[in-house]
Structure 1
């Protein structure tokens, strides 16, 4: 076997600009920080921007300094709660701030409940605003670890009523935000509020840094090894050959969000601690945020949408291993565009199951119809859609739901 390797492409870099604001208890000790993305307007954050901010945090060498030993409060959209990026974070370190919906949207509020329950079961703490105390949100209330009261919106009589209601109906900790004067602080403390956030205590602190992104070829090589369940030694060898890839992995696994008590300094230890499933998700996330060779970021995102959609569709009828293969087919279906070479050449150096290569090269085999259906969803080809759906015995409702889930999941992975 040849020991020569092609030169590693130059990594790309991008600036990070975030801010954090302290949340303190009644003795002034910091118990957490709310994180803000300074590159996005406060009213315009999306699932994509929130996930990218969290991933940037995990990529910062200063992550431990940013979070410290405290909780991190992260704003979410409802779509981002289905995102794979949350699998990369230790729940004990993160509080997810869940936005409210208009109280009149009773059906939508009920539809969101299963997702919130699943996130809560995984160990994430949830924070809601005071709207959760109204009748429309009765089923959400037991999930609340924190309830936030915006002092700039609530007048003193309403604030007192909501705080009293929270004390009676829930065991959640109460946070007053946008506290700007000592008088407000004392009034809130007398009401029984125990946590505070606002300019009276601390203005947001700016955190800036750089991320380094490895080449997509290196990431795809890592993905390939993970998918064939290669040995730790084989994966370690790839990391040793690509400094940018290994740098990103060690910085991620040593970040505060990952929750380790001791620093990891060896690639072998990092791979063993992370495990193959998390390693794959981390690599997939890197792929969608890394660009090179003139390839648009949207190509990587489209590949991940295809993979997730095929995985969800296959889950209706196939065992987990075949669902994994379906994901690989979707992600690798744009490999020729990502690497700038014909598909046969792109697959030549990859060790993949026959069902995967046959679907990619010839659109044949047991998983080919899933790929055809996925492409039909993407292209709006009604005839191909109907034919593939019938072959797989899937309803339009099942397919549309899976497509929406796949789009939401890919959006949470973010893009430059």
Structure 2
């Protein structure tokens, strides 16, 4: 593997979610400085080495024209999807390469305004599109949406501007997300309207995932390993938090504070854990709209654990993961994060990183959050501020993304 390829790029990512609220693909942002020459072929070979059959499909979003041209010119047939911004097609050098890449069998995605779709000559070069709904189109889509049960009937509704089988981005409301995915069969959404999904649930307390609780109960019945139990509980930040609150409650009467999932699992015993899980199950959440919210938090925790080198210290690695997992609990619980975390006897390192933005874990958490965006300048600045090696940051990101699992149909 060529070492310099990942050192000359700034990468970021965004998940794409399908109608089942499952991970459909990953949009990989790739940015290069004007002074850096990037071998696109080497980058694609690096991705191929890291990716497995269960890894998510990739949509590569070059953030500079030069890099896009390199991908279009050198990517072999069978490469990941390559995004092309609609406004860049006015550049004849890019359009010529798009035509040649299409002839070569590359899968291209047109990205742009849903109300300004390309003409037929251009459109035939693309396999799909990543569309943005401007405000007037978003309003029209919501007006076309079926009325909710119990709502007064209206006259015939207009046709929706949302096109079946296409991908959409910038969808900020739950209602518009449901219209795109459920009513108009959009292929996927890039990003997720997490803020509005959580706001729509503000009047009822958030509950852990029914699927994760049930999965953990089955693992206990099957007498799987302690590591397996810990990993499953770590798939839901709210379940992990509730479990630690319970293990530290006066009712349990444990003599020492439980500061990790593993210690709580060991101290309680599996029969007691299963009884506790059984009590959680009737109230657990089955809302699929929460699945992307949870998975985003879990990915951030995994990325943070890869960014910060814990050496051979497994306990330290678990603590770093827990720091990332709990870092957005305030969004789930509707309380200040400092108040939430003070209920647990956690390491001060977790509190410092998540609440104060200081301490040894702050760099990993800040970088993990920055990598969820296409803000190359912020990522570069964090590398300089915390003396993080860009190549190692990119390698950690790609390893985490490659380990994400997509359910194949």
Structure with the higher fraction of residues in helix conformation = 1
TM-score relative to the length of structure 1: 0.35
